[in-house]
Structure 1
Amino acid sequence: MKELDLSKSLLELVTLYPEVKDLMYRLGFEAIAKPGMLQTAGRYVTIPKGAKMKHIPLNQVIELFEANGFTVKGAV
């Protein structure tokens, strides 16, 4: 299983696991697909921060990642 560390930035996670980008897009993070967005905001935004900004429950995010073969680390 792949380990998803919620304390890492989106850029770090997408670099490790490119499928994270698609999963985040499916959750409603449309901006992640815009050119340059991952390289700028993605350097400091974590999944919990992004979920809070988009008003998406973190447990919904965690469930999607777990359903796609990830073990989630750092969940509060």
Structure 2
Amino acid sequence: MEIDFSKSLYELVSQYPEMKEIMLGIGFNEITKPGMLQTAGRYMTIPKGAKMKKIPLATIIQAFEEAGFQIVGERE
């Protein structure tokens, strides 16, 4: 499975619901808040969220790769 980091979080979680648990495990606690994906998630990308939360993008990439995903697209 490929994850395009240039897509919004909303798009990605809609396509791969299991991403929510991976993101939660990394430290994106807001992803479980009601309405968060429908609002901020529509414009937020994983790299932007990583920068805001001060989570190294390499940590996120590693978590997704360990879960069987291949990362494509924006990495900054």
Query: Would you tell me which structure has more helix in proportion to its own residues?
Result: 1
Question: Hey, what's the Cα distance between the residues in 2 that align with 1:37 and 1:15?
Answer: 13
Which residue pairs with 2:36 in the alignment? Answer: 37
TM-score using structure 2 length: 0.95
One-letter identity of the residue aligned with 2:48: K
Report the count of equivalent residues. 75
- Match of 1:37, SS? coil
* Structure 2 CA distance for aligned equivalents of residues 59 and 73 of structure 1: 13
Percent identity over the alignment is 61
Gaps of 5+ in 2: none
Cα distance in 2 for residues equivalent to 1:20 and 1:37: 15
Gaps of 5+ in 1: none
Instruction: State the alpha-carbon separation in 1 of the partners of residues 39 and 19 from structure 2.
Output: 17
RMSD, matched Cα: 0.8
Structure 1 segments of 4+ aligned residues over 6 angstroms from their partners: none
